[in-house]
């Protein structure tokens, strides 16, 4: 298997619950599914990992999906209208590295992470993380400790104000996990 095919993800999105209705097969980012189907209520992820968003253009609540079947978005994710956009998460092979900051614009305490953290408060004595710099790998940030609650996908790059990103007004982050090849 080539490197390219190893990094490819593939998912099929369905208009109705239980994999019914019109479908759309996706192997890359899709900023607006409305041109392919009127709504999206279920999905099968055949390979790779995806982030699903409840609004177009990668906005609103998001949910991480790995290989598997998702027969009913509303009950599983609490998304009122189902999925409106999705992003394929490229697999990262190598080291993971992220710097988290207590305040926006890289202010306050700073800690460098290379592995998962189930409680930012317990490990670093930080009550919140408001900015970060993802240097290596792809990460998921969670609203609550122990990888629970709302999620946000963090790609490599500088993220100066997490509270204003993608409509997560005021959301605090309490745990962080690497997205590894266990997808």
112-137, pLDDT tens digit by residue?
999 999 999 999 999 889 999 999 99
More confident residue, 167 or 150: 150
Which residues make beta-bridge pairs with 140? 153, 177
**What percent of the chain shows pLDDT beyond 70?**
87
- Reported as a pLDDT band with limits 50, 70 and 90, residue 147 is very high
Which DSSP category does 127 fall into? S
Give me the half-sphere count of Cα atoms (radius 13 Å) on the Cβ side of residue 104: 9
- Tens-place pLDDT, residues 25-49: 999 999 999 989 988 889 999 999 9
- Tens-place pLDDT, residues 59-69: 888 899 999 99
Cβ neighbors of 147 (< 8 A, separation 6 or more) are: 118, 140, 175, 177
Indicate the pTM of the whole model. 0.86
């Amino acid at each position: 298997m080539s490197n390219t095919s190893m990094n490819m993800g593939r998912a099929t999105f369905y208009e109705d619950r239980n994999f019914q209705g019109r479908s759309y097969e996706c192997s890359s980012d899709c900023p607006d599914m409305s041109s392919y189907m009127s709504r999206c209520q279920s999905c099968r992820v055949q390979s790779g990992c995806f982030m699903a968003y409840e609004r177009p253009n990668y906005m609103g609540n998001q949910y991480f999906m790995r290989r598997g079947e998702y027969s009913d978005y509303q009950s599983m994710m609490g998304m009122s209208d189902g999925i409106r956009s999705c992003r394929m998460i490229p697999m990262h092979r190598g080291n993971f590295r992220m710097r988290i900051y207590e305040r926006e614009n890289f202010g306050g305490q700073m800690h460098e992470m290379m592995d998962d953290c189930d409680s930012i408060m317990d490990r670093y004595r930080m009550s919140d993380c408001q900015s970060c710099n993802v240097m290596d790998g792809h990460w998921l940030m969670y609203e609550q400790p122990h990888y629970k609650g709302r999620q946000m996908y963090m790609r490599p790059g500088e993220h100066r104000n997490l509270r204003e990103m993608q409509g997560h007004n005021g959301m605090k982050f309490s745990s962080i996990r690497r997205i590894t090849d266990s997808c």
